[in-house]
Amino acid sequence: MSNKNHLVNPRPPNYGSISSHGHPQGDILEPHLSLPPAFVNHIQQYPYSSDNHHVQYTSLPGYSDEEEEEQEKDFNTLFNEYLITTPFIIIAIFSFILLLYVWPIKSNDNDDNDGSGNTIIIEHWNIFLLGISGWSLVFLLRRPSFFLLSKLIKVKVSTSGILTLLLVGFTEEIVRLIWLYYAHEDASTGNDIYQDFLIAYWLGLGWATAEAIYFIIQNFIAVRWYKEENGLNGQYLEERLELEEILGRPLTKVSAWWGVMWRVSWIFAHIGFSCWIAFYSVLVYPAAMIHGLLHVIWGYCLPVFGIPTVSYVTLILTFAMFLIGLALFGQIV
C-alpha cells in the first residue's frame, strides 16, 4: 500500500471506502469502483510477485475458485464487457418507468389520468429528481459519518466500519422519510393513497438512478486499473489489490453481468423502502435496519460466501421488499 494520506483524497468515498482492519496507511481508503455502493473495504494483505509485477490471486477462506468458473479476461475484453452491460443497467431503469404504463395503477381520481400514463410522467419527474438529490445528500454524509465514529468516538476502525455502514443505512432512510414528507406536502395529494404510491415509486426510482449512474462511472474507472501500461503504476496496483480483497478474486475474473443484477436489486430495494415509509412512517425503522444489514453483508460477507450466493440472496430479498411495498398500497392484491 502507498503511504499517501487518504483523508485528503479529493475523490468522494463509496459505501465501501472503509478499511475493516484499520490499515496504517490511511483511515479512509480509496473508493472501489466496480461494486454496489453497499460494499465496504475488507482489507487483508495479498501476496504478489515483485519480479513480474503481477498480482498473485489467493482465494479467501470459505470461498473456492471452483464455485464460479470465470476465465480471466484481458483489459480489452473486460472493457468491452462493461460497454455491453452498461446499456442493460439503463434499460433496467427505464423498464421500471415502463412498468407504470403497463401496470394497472389504481387511482382514486380518474379525472387526472386519461389512461395514457402522461399524467404519471409529467406530474412526477420532479419527484424523480428529488430522489436523485436525496441519494446525493446521503453520499456526502458518508465520510463525516466514518470520521464521527472513528475519531470523535474512540472505537476500533473495524468496529467503526460496521457501525458506519449501519449508520449510513439509518441515515439514508431518515433522509428518505424527510424527502417523502416534503414531496407529499408539495404535491398536496390529500388522502389519495395512490398518488402517494406514485410519489414513493418515483422517489425510489430517482434514488436508485443516482446510485446506478455513480456505479457506471466507477466501473470504467476500475477497468482502467487493469490496462497493461498502468500495471506497473504503484497507485493502480494499490487500487487493484484493495478491490480484489473486497471481491475475493481479481476483477478480471468477475463477470460484468453481475453488476446488472446488483443494480436491479437496488432498484427493487429503493422503491420498496420508499413505499414502506410512504405508507406508514414508522416502517422507517425496519427499513433502516435491513438497509444497514445489507451494507454489512456486502462489505464483510462477499469474500466468504462468494459473489453468486450474496447476489442471488440480495435479489430475492430486495424483490420481496419491492412486492411488499406494492402490496401495502394495494397494487398487487
* Structure-block grid coordinates of residue 155: 472505537
Please give the span between the terminal C-alpha atoms of the chain, in angstroms, as a whole number.
Answer: 54
212-238 pLDDT per residue, tens: 999 999 989 888 887 765 555 667 777
Instruction: Give the pLDDT of residue 171.
Output: 92
State the residue range of the domain holding 201: 115-214+256-328
51-73 pLDDT per residue, tens: 333 334 334 444 444 444 567 78
How far is Cα 325 from Cα 208, in angstroms, rounded to an integer? 15
Which pTM does this prediction carry? 0.76
Confidence of residue 164 (pLDDT cuts 50, 70, 90): confident
The answer to whether residue 313 is domain-embedded is yes
How far is Cα 253 from Cα 247, in angstroms, rounded to an integer? 10
The answer to whether residue 127 is domain-embedded is yes
The answer to whether residue 244 is domain-embedded is no
Closest-CA residue to 14 (of 168, 134, 153): 168
The answer to whether residue 131 is domain-embedded is yes
The answer to whether residue 273 is domain-embedded is yes
The answer to whether residue 194 is domain-embedded is yes
The answer to whether residue 25 is domain-embedded is no
Domain count, the chain: 1
Instruction: List CB contacts of 136: < 8 A, sequence separation 6 or more.
Output: 210
Contact assessment for residue 314 and residue 268, using Cβ atoms and an 8 Å cutoff: no
The answer to whether residue 96 is domain-embedded is no
86-135 pLDDT per residue, tens: 999 999 999 999 998 888 776 655 445 544 445 566 568 899 999 999 99
